[in-house]
Chain A
Amino acid sequence: DAGVTQSPTHLIKTRGQQVTLRCSPKSGHDTVSWYQQALGQGPQFIFQYYEEEERQRGNFPDRFSGHQFPNYSSELNVNALLLGDSALYLCASSLSWGGEQYFGPGTRLTVT
């Protein structure tokens, strides 16, 4: 049973650039959520995608956007990168009704 996968594992970008992170949900799951985890903090909810639409959004600026594809995989895009965007970006998959969310291995983004 394939778990949640994310790519790339690590990424180094320069301030002002744009980045795209990718996620494939666990087999049988149709909902993808994205979280940002800064060092020493708990994950912070960015947004959730279901049926190819953003269903809920956390307190993140419009520089953060996403997409969900018909196969339920998802992308997170961040424009105009800031140093403060350096973090571990986590994708979590779940069923549409809510309940348990399972995390992928994460993408470590470093902005210099």
Chain B
Amino acid sequence: QKEVEQNSGPLSVPEGAIASLNCTYSDRGSQSFFWYRQYSGKSPELIMSIYSNGDKEDGRFTAQLNKASQYVSLLIRDSQPSDSATYLCAVRDSGAGSYQLTFGKGTKLSVIP
């Protein structure tokens, strides 16, 4: 059973601070990793994808990947109240012909004004 683990939170950070969200995965062969943001009552929205070890930056978001440690993280700089949501980590399963994403349960982030 391939697993993706996230702290459920809630993670509370003050406005303007850096929020750090973490995710570990069990499938050592996985090559594709994604972060989705989901507001309450809405569907997941893709915010970052990362495929290679290291950091990938997009605006206030930075995704970090360490395949040796089977660890992926998302940093949100200058956090805003509008960033308050559940953040889902998703990993594409390895193996020939596998396209499904395995999701963690999500980390609930609360940015306090």
Contact = CB atoms under 8 A, between A and B. Distances in A.
Interface of A: 31, 33, 35, 40-45, 48, 55-56, 58, 88, 90, 92, 94, 98-106
Give the contact-size bracket for chain B. 20 to 34
Given A94-B99, A105-B42, 13 more contacts: A31-B99, A33-B101, A40-B105, A42-B90, A42-B103, A42-B104, A43-B44, A43-B103, A90-B44, A98-B32, A98-B99, A100-B46, A103-B43
Given A88-B43, A90-B44, A101 B101 contact: yes
Nearest to B45: A103
Interface on chain B toward A: helix, strand, loop, or mixed SS?
strand
Contact of A104 (B43, B90, B103): B43
Contacts of B43: 88, 90, 103-106
Nearest to A55: B99
Contact of A45 (B34, B46, B102, B105): B102
Contacts of A40: 105
Contacts of A98: 32, 92, 99
B98 interface: yes
Contacts of B36: 103
Contacts of B103: 42-44
A98 B101 CA distance: 10
B59 interface: no
Given A90-B44, A105-B42, A56 B101 contact: no
Contacts of A88: 43
